[in-house]
Chains A and B, each alone.
Chain A
Amino acid sequence: GDSVTQMEGPVTLSEEAFLTINCTYTATGYPSLFWYVQYPGEGLQLLLKATKADDKGSNKGFEATYRKETTSFHLEKGSVQVSDSAVYFCALRPSSGGYNKLIFGAGTRLAVHP
């Protein structure tokens, strides 16, 4: 079945460092891909999305490009801030067979220190 694999955390960075969180997926067809962020004590917030191959999603300095050839959707940010500390979830929405649900990775915790 469809699945999402994320790099294990925690990822610990100093402020202004470059961030990459790896995400790869297994799915048939062309799923939509998402990054959600969960701040402590809060629900999931949509960070960015991409719905077709080679699309780049971007928001708040974060970017991710939908790579069909490598089945990847890695999250990047050029300069992280302390306020970016949170858990980041990569997710896909299948293109067929149960296409109305999201399938999430296990999440990657990011800790940014001043």
Chain B
Amino acid sequence: DTGVSQDPRHKITKRGQNVTFRCDPISEHNRLYWYRQTLGQGPEFLTYFQNEAQLEKSRLLSDRFSAERPKGSFSTLEIQRTEQGDSAMYLCASSLATGGQETQYFGPGTRLLVL
């Protein structure tokens, strides 16, 4: 079991640039989640996929954010026209839907710094 992986681990960008993050879930997991964690706070839910379908999006996910999971395996999270307020840790998690008893397993995160 290789766990959830994320790439890159760190990203520094200038305000106004676009960035894209990748998440590879645990191989048999059909659900994939994105969260954002700012310094000193707990993670906040952004969006989730069941297979390739994006089923829920938080109000935190502005129009500049887009997430995809094209083949129901890996997922990407893109932020367009980054702002300094986007600086945070972006966490990916995956789970296997088991009728209500599922557990989410988290990756190491991508830390974004917008200058």
Contacts and interface: CB of A to CB of B under 8 A. Distances in A.
A105 B42 contact: yes
B106 A45 contact: yes
Interface residues of A, number: 23
Interface stretch (A65-73, A77-85, A94-102): A94-102
B33 A101 contact: yes
B72 interface: no
Interface in B61-80: none
A43 B42 contact: no
A100 B55 CA distance: 10
B38 to A, nearest CB: 10
Given A51-B101, A89-B43, A106-B40, 18 more contacts: A32-B100, A34-B103, A36-B106, A42-B108, A43-B91, A44-B91, A44-B106, A45-B106, A46-B105, A49-B103, A51-B100, A89-B42, A102-B43, A103-B45, A106-B41, A106-B42, A107-B41, A107-B42
